[in-house]
Every structure is written in C-alpha cells, then in structure tokens.
Chain A
Amino acid sequence: MNLFAKLYYPLRKAWKAVGLYLVIAGPGIVVMVADNDAGGITTYAATGAKYGYHLIWFLLILIPVAYYVQEMTVRLGAITKRGHAEAIFDGFGAFWGWFSLLDLLILDWLTLVTEFVGMTAALAIFGVPPWITVIAVILLMALIVLNGRYWTFEKLALLFCALNLVYIPGAFLVHPSVRDIVHQGLIPNFAGGFNGQLFFFLMANIGTTIAPWMLFFQQSAVVDKGMLEKDIPWGRFDTLLGSVITVVVAVFIVIVTGTVLPGIDIDDAAQAAHELMKTDRYVGTFLAIGLFDAGLLGAICISLASSWAFGEIFGWAHSLNTKIRQAPWFYATYFLMLVSAGLVVLIPQAPLVLITLFVQVIAVTLLPAALVFLILLLNDRTTMGEGCNTLAQNLIGGFIVVSIIILSTLYGFTVLFPAVFK
C-alpha cells in the first residue's frame, strides 16, 4: 500500500506527460516516417541485398543527422508562425524565394510520380491494375484531407506510419542471425573495402534520409497544428522519436533483404518484393504492403508541402482546418499535383527511370539552398529571440549541413556521371 502511494504521483505525472505528448505528437513522426517513401524503401532494400548487415551502423548515425536538421524547422515554425517558403521569401527576398518555391514545386511533382510508381508496382504484385491503384489512391487521399480538420489528417497519417512498422515482423519471419547482425552490423566497417560503389550507396542512404520537402512540410505542419514556443520541447521529442522510428524501419528492411537476398542487385523495391515472394510469401507480401504504404504516406506529405508553400506566398487560405470552399486554391494545388502525377504513371512508355534520376539531381539543387537558409534563419536574433541557435547547435548543425551538401552534391554528380565512381 505504501509502495502504491509512493508510485501513484510519479505514475500520474508520467501518464499526464504521455497524454500531453499525444496531443502534440504528429509533425515529427509523420515527416520522418514519410521520409521512408517508395524511393527510400528501394534504397534500403538495395543496400541490404548488396552489403548484407554491414551498413546498419551507418544508418544508425543518420538518427542524429535527421534529428538536428528537422529540429530547427520545429523552432522556426513555432516561433515565427511561418512556413519555410514564407520564411525564405521574407528573410532573403523574392529572388531566393521564387528559386526555392519553383524548385520545390518541380521536385515535389517528380517525387510524387515516383511515389505513384512505387504504389502501382506494389499493388501490381497482388494483380491490381495501375489505373485502379491511381484512382483509389486519389480518392483515399481526398478523404484524408477534405474533412476540414488538421487533427484528423494527422491521426490518419499516424495510422499509416504505424503500418510502416510492418517490416519489423517481416524481419523476424526470415530468422536472421542476431549474432551476425551485432558483429557485422553494429561495428563500423566497409564490406569489401571503400570503393566507388560503396560510396554511392552511402550517399544514396543520406539522400533518402534528408529531403528538401521535409523541411517545408514539417515547418508548415508545425504552423498549421498551431504549436507554440512552449510546445518546442515536445516537438523536439516528437522529431527525435520520428528519426529513431524511421531509421529502425530502415534497419529492419536491410535485415530482411540482407538475410534473404544477399548479393542480388535490386533496382526497385517491387523487384525485391517479387524476389522475396519466391522464398517466403508472407515476407514478400509484407514488403509489398510496406512499399504501398510508404508511397501513400510520401504522396500525402509531399503534395501538402507544395500546397502549404504556395498558399503561404500567394496569400491563399492554406490550412487543413479549412473546408474546400474556404481554401479552394490550397486544395486545387493539392489535387492538381496529385492527379497530374498519377496520370503520368498511366502513360504507356513514360520515361519513369529518367524521372527518378531527375528527382535526385534536382534535390541536389534545392537541398543545399534550403539548408543554408535554415541555418541563417535560425541565427536571426531579431526574429528568433531566445530560440536562436546556440554556438553548439551552430557547430553541430553547421557540420551536418556542410557534410550533407558535400555528399549530396557528390551523389548528384554520380547520378549525372555514373562512370566516375566505378
């Protein structure tokens, strides 16, 4: 009885903290899990098949990298109450503003096409024709956003985030050797020596972990959710939890393909699912479901990132808390992006491989600019006040940003000139 009395208040306090977190939870987890989109799943599946468990340690390093970058958008959004696009226009003028906005539009649209490619390929494994997938996805996404409440969108998105965890039971089904995972995966090593191909894979993994649309999405989501300065610690926790989940899911994908498909060259995640179907039907099904879910979640967030950005700049109503009649242009942009990207996938002989390559190259033009602007905006004391970057945050953030810029530029370079790193 005495013990119960002692535990009662700490437990009640902890329960209240969990309840409060559940109110604030959302933007960080959604953006991070959505980052494991169709392209991300392909990269992790290919990494596992190519290098087994040997690059798991590298994926774990990406947890703080993703956290430090995205945490800055939480502070910027909560303090300025502005999305990233508006912050760039306001801070750096119209030239850099238009550059960022148009680059974001092109990049988001091309990425949306790749999400549809992933979703149609995933459901094709179950015999669903692409046109049915495209129509069903557009209808589903309409239902998610048209209810006129940010809260409903966010909780539905969190449900899809939970579905992304399907890779974890999938990994247990293939019975990987825990000893091998610990010995090969957790001790930093470069399997087969450091060569051009390994470097390409490392860069691809970084490229899929930090994407430009993520900065725009999370900052706008923080504003739309109405987060305040006092919510920043919870926003940080939400972002940290999201970055841990996204990397854990990536590690489990690597474990699945590293166990079942070692040494096989994987070009896309649907191919990996096909290969897995041959060895274990359930695991192949899990990978296909996960690929569809990843594409869907990515598509929801990417199209919203663009709609929010355009709404901020053109002064349209741009909140998910508005009905379609109150914010017609916001929803029109959302559906225009979605429908046009979906239609491209249905065009016979569409240059989908070329589009996928373009995504990587254009991301390289936007990512450094968005990251530089982010660091500069976080050092603007007149706007940020106490939320300004500290010296330690600048050193860590600056190091991460410079590293990402160098590596993503080299990645873009290898996409343009593949022979250089062979």
Chain B
Amino acid sequence: MSAFRNLFAKIRAINARYHEPRIVMSGAVRLSLLVLRVYLLALVALMIYKFILVVTQG
C-alpha cells in the first residue's frame, strides 16, 4: 500500500515539476499543438468507430 502511496506522490511531484511548459508559446507552437490535439481526437474517434463496427458486426 505504501508503495502505491509513494508512486502517487512521485506522480504528483512530476506533475508539479512540469506544470508549466518551458517552451515559449508562440503562435506557431500554439497552432502546432492545437492541430496535434485535433488530429489525435480524430484518430481516437476513428478507433472508437472501428471498435463499434467490430462489436456490432462481429
């Protein structure tokens, strides 16, 4: 149990350490990250669609 507690404490420490992105968020960087988010969301939607197809059509 304490091992899990240590692990979660470690993860919280990592989240705190890297809370703020160090790279300067210029327009190009923001746009790149936005496009990446949209791309990944579209990909996840596609995978969910495929999963539903597999489940419903067997």
Interface residues of A in 394-422 (CB under 8 A from B): 405, 409, 412-413, 416-417
Let me know if B10 and A93 touch, CB within 8 A.
no
Let me know if B18 and A372 touch, CB within 8 A.
no
Bitwise, B1-39 to A at CB < 8 A (1) or not (0) is: 000000000100011001111111000010011001001
**What 3 A-B pairs come out closest when comparing CB atoms?**
A93-B21, A91-B23, A94-B18
What residues of A have a CB within 8 angstroms of the CB of B32 in the complex? Answer: 372, 375-376
Please judge, given known A-B contacts A365-B40, A372-B32, A380-B24, whether A93 and B18 are in contact too, CB under 8 Å: yes
What residues of B have a CB within 8 angstroms of the CB of A368 in the complex? Answer: 36, 39
What residues of B have a CB within 8 angstroms of the CB of A313 in the complex? Answer: 14
- Taking the closest CB of chain B, its distance from the CB of A352, in whole angstroms, is 18
Which of B15, B23, B46 counts the most A-chain CB atoms under 10 A from its CB? B23
Flag whether A110 is at the interface (Cβ < 8 A): no
Can you identify 21 A-B contacts, CB atoms within 8 angstroms? A90-B18, A90-B22, A91-B21, A91-B22, A91-B23, A93-B19, A93-B20, A94-B14, A94-B15, A94-B18, A314-B14, A315-B10, A364-B43, A365-B40, A365-B43, A372-B33, A376-B29, A380-B23, A412-B43, A416-B46, A417-B50
- Taking the closest CB of chain B, its distance from the CB of A406, in whole angstroms, is 11
Flag whether B47 is at the interface (Cβ < 8 A): yes
What residues of A have a CB within 8 angstroms of the CB of B23 in the complex? Answer: 91-92, 376-377, 380
**Cα separation A413 to B39 with both chains bound (whole Å):** 13
Q: How many residues of A contact B (CB 8 A)?
A: 28
- Taking the closest CB of chain B, its distance from the CB of A366, in whole angstroms, is 10
Total contacts A-B at CB 8 Å? 55
A90-B18, A94-B18, A376-B23 provided; 7 other pairs, C-beta below 8 A? A365-B43, A369-B40, A376-B29, A376-B32, A405-B39, A413-B46, A417-B50
Which residue of chain B is the closest to A316 with respect to CB atoms?
A: B10
- Taking the closest CB of chain B, its distance from the CB of A398, in whole angstroms, is 11
What residues of B have a CB within 8 angstroms of the CB of A361 in the complex? Answer: 47
- Taking the closest CB of chain B, its distance from the CB of A314, in whole angstroms, is 6
**Cα separation A313 to B10 with both chains bound (whole Å):** 10
- Taking the closest CB of chain A, its distance from the CB of B9, in whole angstroms, is 12
What residues of A have a CB within 8 angstroms of the CB of B46 in the complex? Answer: 413, 416
Which of B32, B36, B44 counts the most A-chain CB atoms under 10 A from its CB? B36
Q: Which single member of B10, B29, B43 contacts A314 (CB below 8 Å)?
A: B10
Flag whether A150 is at the interface (Cβ < 8 A): no
Bitwise, A82-117 to B at CB < 8 A (1) or not (0) is: 000000011111101100000000000000000000
Which residue of chain B is the closest to A314 with respect to CB atoms?
A: B10
Flag whether A177 is at the interface (Cβ < 8 A): no
Flag whether A382 is at the interface (Cβ < 8 A): yes
What residues of A have a CB within 8 angstroms of the CB of B24 in the complex? Answer: 380, 382
**Cα separation A376 to B27 with both chains bound (whole Å):** 12
What residues of B have a CB within 8 angstroms of the CB of A377 in the complex? Answer: 23
What residues of A have a CB within 8 angstroms of the CB of B36 in the complex? Answer: 368-369, 372
**Cα separation A323 to B52 with both chains bound (whole Å):** 48
